[in-house]
Structure 1
């Protein structure tokens, strides 16, 4: 039995809906802060632990594989205890993951760092499972992409701030020469230097852990309502009654595959760009700003979405454009090269194609979620769990990229993006329509 009281979406006042959206927006900012900091952890740990590309992408794997492990259990947990209790516990679990960075940094243990990242991912999967249905149902379906764009701006703004803030805290002005000379040190001196590098993360993550505990308590005592997600429209309920389980909804299952490819390709674009920019002549100290450029391109896409959808274009048309543009840019990364000077950086043009992938990715999440969750009725929470589970694409696809980067080359490894965007094009043009597997 449920031990919490639900309310109907229709019973909420405009003020209550706006307050709920504001609370969820704050959560998306936290999601972005914790998530996109991996973009700088990957090259940072690559240096500190002397890893190859494949080993360094275990950072993304450990963090995002938690979604595969936890998302469906999170859906059932939220059904039993409600959103607010679930989100509070999600923040508490994330704080445990942050605190694990303290002993990991003290003893310079990469496996312990990975355990901390996995624990952070466990808590975040609960929060994502709870937050995304709110965005979908707190308003008209036709404007869901607008609301997701607002959440995306919060997420990506945090993604811009987090790596730069993290870098400002743990990196020093003299590190540019230090990183270049560290490999020339004697084994004992190098070991001491690398120990010092890993210990720099202790204080930042200790502070993050305390903040996460505070956020959990704030959510628990916030005015965020417990939404009755089964009331997704009368037609949805009647349709859901004849379906035995969530796997009887082709548009949902295919949508979860689309989310898998989308988030994986998005993380590759952000998390690989520092190493790729270094490969084309930039120092780590200069390349560390490029994830922020990619996320800024994503925010520009969100802002255009808010302005254009649905007044000038539909969210489906935006999805179709972004998936096709993503395939064009991925092809450009593979086949176009040449040095250019832009924003004070002299590097290969393909690095800027990678930056523009942020724009192409901007409206894909916002387009797929409403399409995949439509007509689910009572299955909405579990359906959302299936989509959140697909975030394990963030774990698996970067690992594939890292493997190919070691054995084929950094540019050639971006071939992994081609099937991702090809499938997303299929879903945007056809897959979302399917309501019966026989079709």
Structure 2
């Protein structure tokens, strides 16, 4: 269910890059005031969402009262008493560096001028948005596929394969010759037409990371919460707090890009994150605290 639900998240991301690319267009090359329509749209969406939430009544889930023996002793354990859970929330933290870092810096690399301090390809902003949307399209397809085959393939196997392949794809994207070009398709929803663009083959490798990242969240969650029993609910909440990792790794990747003068070099941050996830899939997921009562 986590993978199937994630397809809607990826679908929204695809739409976001396409719509923002169409609205902003060449504004990035002119002045920030030209992006006002996009800003107004964002404010309108936020306002509508706020109104809907304010007037929506959400009932608390009803559960049967649990009879507990009267005890003055405080539970000495929690979800954080499990090593594999602690390593798991760190894996989710690292995962955000992969999921967000790859497409964002593909977009930066494509649109930044070749003569900038950190040079890029100087591609049209709208076309770049359509290309980056392919990453999230791959994520949507991957999550749907992961939801279908999830009962047949273990979370450990999925996470091991996808994290390993994502490392290979990222390294290939970093070191592939920029002179070798491939054609990447995209959909121009504004004109209801299919567009194509020539990009370095390494960019296409970065886009393929979307398929790998698509099932990582669900796989990490399943492995990290396995065997937690009564502590699972608290563990689920702790997982959601780790999404701030995207902000941390975006800043770190930006620092590396500025320091080295290369967007491609900044992808070592993504490799580091994916390498930790691979470690978790192979070793860190093991529950070594089976002696802790969870009933």
TM-score > 0.5 by shorter chain:
yes
Indicate conservation of the 8 Å contact 1:341/1:347, yes or no. yes
Indicate conservation of the 8 Å contact 2:170/2:267, yes or no. yes
CA distance in 1, matches of 2:242, 2:93: 5
Residue matched to 1:361: 213
Picking from 151, 161, 182, the partner of 1:341 is 182
Indicate conservation of the 8 Å contact 2:20/2:129, yes or no. no
Distance 1:417 1:367, change over 3 A: same
What's the RMSD between the two structures over aligned residues?
2.6
Indicate conservation of the 8 Å contact 1:276/1:351, yes or no. no
Distance 1:227 1:350, change over 3 A: farther
Instruction: Please give the residue correspondences for 1:320-339 in structure 2 after superposition, counting only pairs within 5 Å.
Output: 320-337=160-177, 338-339=179-180
- Secondary structure, aligned partner of 1:220: coil
Unaligned runs of 5+ in 2: 67-73, 112-119, 186-195
Residue matched to 1:207: 44
Residue matched to 1:62: none
Residue matched to 1:276: 109
Residue matched to 2:117: none
CA distance in 2, matches of 1:367, 1:243: 28
1:226 aligns with 2:61: yes
CA drift at 1:264: 1.5
Q: TM-score, normalised by structure 2?
A: 0.80
Residue matched to 2:10: 156
Picking from 204, 225, 239, the partner of 1:373 is 225
CA distance in 2, matches of 1:350, 1:230: 56
Instruction: Please give the residue correspondences for 1:356-435 in structure 2 after superposition, counting only pairs within 5 Å.
Output: 356-408=208-260, 409-435=262-288
CA distance in 1, matches of 2:93, 2:223: 15
Distance 1:340 1:229, change over 3 A: farther
Instruction: Please give the residue correspondences for 1:261-272 in structure 2 after superposition, counting only pairs within 5 Å.
Output: 261-272=94-105
1:250 aligns with 2:76: no
CA drift at 1:385: 2.6
Distance 1:315 1:219, change over 3 A: farther
Indicate conservation of the 8 Å contact 2:21/2:128, yes or no. no
Residue matched to 1:121: none
Indicate conservation of the 8 Å contact 2:21/2:130, yes or no. no
CA distance in 1, matches of 2:197, 2:35: 29
Structure in which a larger fraction of residues adopt helix: 1
Distance 1:244 1:211, change over 3 A: same
- Secondary structure, aligned partner of 2:61: coil
CA distance in 2, matches of 1:402, 1:257: 21
Q: TM-score, normalised by structure 1?
A: 0.55
Residue matched to 2:19: 165
Residues 390-399 or 274-283, more deviating: 274-283
- Secondary structure, aligned partner of 2:267: helix
CA drift at 1:374: 2.4
- Secondary structure, aligned partner of 1:433: coil
Indicate conservation of the 8 Å contact 2:102/2:267, yes or no. no
CA distance in 1, matches of 2:62, 2:165: 36
Unaligned runs of 5+ in 1: 1-146, 183-192, 232-240
Residue matched to 1:189: none
CA distance in 2, matches of 1:372, 1:228: 25
CA drift at 1:395: 0.9
Distance 1:228 1:361, change over 3 A: farther
Deviations 1:46-79 (A, max 9, x none): xxxxxxxxxxxxxxxxxxxxxxxxxxxxxxxxxx
CA distance in 2, matches of 1:165, 1:429: 39
Distance 1:376 1:283, change over 3 A: same
Distance 1:417 1:437, change over 3 A: farther
